[in-house]
Amino acid sequence: MSDKRDANDVAREHGPHGLAEELTRRTDEAEAIPPTQNASNDATPADPPRFFSNCHVVIQTDGKGEPITMKNGKPKTRRDALTVDEMSTNLFAMTGNWPKAVGKTNPLLFVEHNGTVRILPTVDSLFAWIQERTGKISWQGGQDNDVKTITPKKEFFEHVRERAERFEAVSEVPHEPPLEGHYYTWKPPKGYDARGEYLARLLALFDNGETPEDMAMIKAMFLTPAWGAVNGTRPAFAITAPDKGCGKSTLGEMAGELYGGNIVHTLTRNDDEKLSSRLLSAEALTKRVVLVDNAKQSIASANLEQTITLGTISGHLLYHGDSSRPNTLTVILTANGLRLSRDMARRCYIIRLKRPAVCDDRKEQAKALIKNYRDYILADIVEELRKPVAPSNHNDPGGWKSFVNQVMTRCTNTPEKVVSLTQARRDERDDDLADAEEIMEAIDAEVSQNSTADTRVFISSTRMTEVINGALNKNLTKKSVCNLLSDHMEAGRLARVEKTRTASAKGYHIQRPPKPEANTENQSHD
């Protein structure tokens, strides 16, 4: 509500004298906070103002203290613009040092209400919140009586973004240990002695892991989003099963549900290209889980791979500019015939489910349990992550040593079995490895047709292109085949292939496969 409209209302009710008294009261309230250029956000006066404005409006009086009335009967007023520092000092005092900001560059403003986070990304959203919080806003435009420009809303919005107390991230769920620079709204339920009861109830709904190691990985998947790890050191989890009806999607969905909901991602080109922007959006900012559900094709995405391992996720946020967030995300994939690129496979712990004995309503049960007892489950998880673990030196060829030692050791007494099993599954589900095996078989078939006794056989680039296209049923160019073979050779998957160049042609030298040893076990001797 503007001062002009407010003044008319008061004048109709109380007359010019009442108007003078009302505006003087409001002016006194606005001046209750002394303007300070470097005022601390923590300063909260005993009686902060409850009327937020960008200028003082003062009734001008004559020598007798009576308000000066203009020809139209309205009192003559004087406007004095407030500086942005004076205004922000007043705002922080009135609201208990709110709003705060999240993000290193181009921060977003946010407020907390009953444990939930509300992002204020625009000028209108900030002023709507101020109106709700303070009750009344008087915002003037133009210039004051000293011809100083009265601060417009957009300029004040930008000032608050820079002056507000700033955090790297904001979250409605915990980390254990808490991460520096994060603002957490979550608090453990009062009076609850966390002994694992509610976490156990949740895990009991997903008891159809194929092996004890799978059950350990399921527990680790529920713990990982709360693990206060170095950014980018949380592995992904890939859930697979022999058929539909085993609960892959339900398991992945409920892990995200526990941590405030899933950021659902598809592997379509359009969605994949926009992944970083979606992860930086206000809706995704407080979430912990990225879910790729029911993938139908081989999972190979450089953007998704980076989402798992980058320490900081950066990109362009629509209508906002460059933005970033610390990478505290956990990626969960589900698929029946799970196929992964080499780089994706080594980033994953692969969980296999078996068909449950009874097709029940476990999804509805899990949703109800999380809805009613989320804080209790999270308290159990925090306590689980606080438990001391025996010093160990378990490693993982995929590079997840800290995860194995700090999370997996809290889920099983034999983490080395989990690592061994998941590494075997990585190789089994590795599309690149499968391609390399097909390529090597085709190359060996080509070499076998060479009648020379040489241990090394030369295949030209032109002929190799034909061999590879035949093996993979593709139509790759000679350059694409060269790049494909180079990647496989660099990864050690084509150990007997060597790129070379002769006097007459470019191509590859192939080491013949070793001859199988003769089986003498059943040979008879005279």
The 3-class secondary structure across 435-475, one letter per residue, is HHHHHHHHHHHHHHCCCCCCCEEEEEHHHHHHHHHHHHCCC
Provide the b/e sequence for 11-21 (b: ≥16 CB within 10 Å): beeeebeebbe
Beta strands 456-460 and 262-264: pairing type? Answer: unpaired
- Looking at residue 319, its pLDDT comes to 66
Residues 336-355 have pLDDT tens digits of: 888 888 889 999 999 999 98
Most confident of the ranges 66-80, 237-251, 439-453: 237-251
pLDDT band at 359 (very low <50, low <70, confident <90, very high): low
- Looking at residue 364, its pLDDT comes to 94
pLDDT at 299 over 70: yes
Say if residues 148 and 81 touch (Cβ distance below 8 Å): yes
CA atoms within 13 A on the CB side of 22: 17
pLDDT at 245 over 50: yes
DSSP 155-194: HHHHHHHHHS-EESEEESS--BSPPTTEEE---PPTT---
Q: What share of the chain is helix, strand, coil (3-state, %, to 5)?
A: 40, 20, 40
**What's the CA gap between 464 and 462, in Å, rounded?**
5
Residues 426-471 have pLDDT tens digits of: 988 777 777 788 898 899 888 888 878 788 899 999 999 999 999 8
Tokens of 290: 């990225």
Most confident of the ranges 184-198, 357-371, 437-451, 474-488: 184-198
| Between 285 and 44, the higher pLDDT residue | 285
Whole-structure pTM value: 0.75
Residues 151-203 have pLDDT tens digits of: 999 999 999 999 999 999 999 999 999 999 999 999 999 999 999 999 999 99
Contacts (Cβ under 8 Å, ≥6 apart) of 320: 106, 108, 121
Q: Among 203-212, 304-313, 394-403, 417-426, which stretch is predicted with the lowest mean pLDDT?
A: 394-403
- Looking at residue 56, its pLDDT comes to 85
pLDDT band at 517 (very low <50, low <70, confident <90, very high): low
Q: Among 59-68, 175-184, 472-481, 513-522, which stretch is predicted with the lowest mean pLDDT?
A: 513-522
Say if residues 268 and 378 touch (Cβ distance below 8 Å): no
**What's the CA gap between 53 and 181, in Å, rounded?**
32
pLDDT at 6 over 60: no
Say if residues 219 and 418 touch (Cβ distance below 8 Å): no
- Looking at residue 219, its pLDDT comes to 98
Contacts (Cβ under 8 Å, ≥6 apart) of 82: 30, 35, 53, 54, 55, 56, 90, 151
Give the closest residue to 290 by CA, choosing from 302, 269, 274, 275. Answer: 275
Contacts (Cβ under 8 Å, ≥6 apart) of 95: 130, 133, 134
- Looking at residue 392, its pLDDT comes to 72
CA atoms within 13 A on the CB side of 119: 17
| Between 79 and 189, the higher pLDDT residue | 189
CA-to-CA dists, residue 383 to 49, 379, 401, angstroms:
43, 6, 22
| Between 117 and 298, the higher pLDDT residue | 117
Give the closest residue to 439 by CA, choosing from 397, 500, 491. Answer: 491
